[in-house]
Amino acid sequence: MPYQSCQSGSTPDRLSGYTILITGRTSRIGYGLARRLLEAGNTVIVDGRRKSLLDKITAEHPGIKSIALDVASPTSITNAAVVLTATYPDLNVVINNAGIMPTEDLRAPGSLQVAEDHMAINLLG
């Protein structure tokens, strides 16, 4: 298939018709990706810890759906999975975009916990 730039305004047909969950979506890359995938004809669900920000995003982009989710919390992940499977049985794409990049001083007390949190969110969350 020939190369097609998503910036050109044309979207290949294979990028539409999906139900997509995007983690880490309330700013920067995730937010832009959510908007673009919605424009391409997908059902887009975004997650977040802050209800006020999720409400703002869904108000500005009525086609975007939202769910409360803290990827650092196993309980939150389990609860979100129950809601997602019940509400969006056609969910067929997950884009794990959530991540953190804390500044770490490995000599400081508590640095092991910071490193473990970093790995848990970026690799497991």
Q: Cα dist. 54→2, 8, 97, 109 in Å?
A: 37, 28, 16, 35
pTM of the model: 0.75
CA neighbor of 122 nearest in space, from 104, 103, 97: 97
Give the total residue count for the chain.
125
H helices of 1-125, in order, are 28-39, 51-60, 74-87, 111-119
Q: Which of 79, 71, 65 is nearest to 99 (CA)?
A: 71
Give residue-wise pLDDT tens across range 20-51: 999 876 567 888 889 899 999 999 999 988 88
Catalogue all structural domains in the chain, each as residue range(s) with its CATH number.
6-99 (3.40.50.720)
What are the pLDDT tens digits along the chain (125 aa)? Answer: 444 455 555 555 678 899 999 987 656 788 888 989 999 999 999 998 888 989 998 999 989 999 998 888 889 989 999 999 999 999 999 998 776 677 777 777 877 777 777 777 776 65
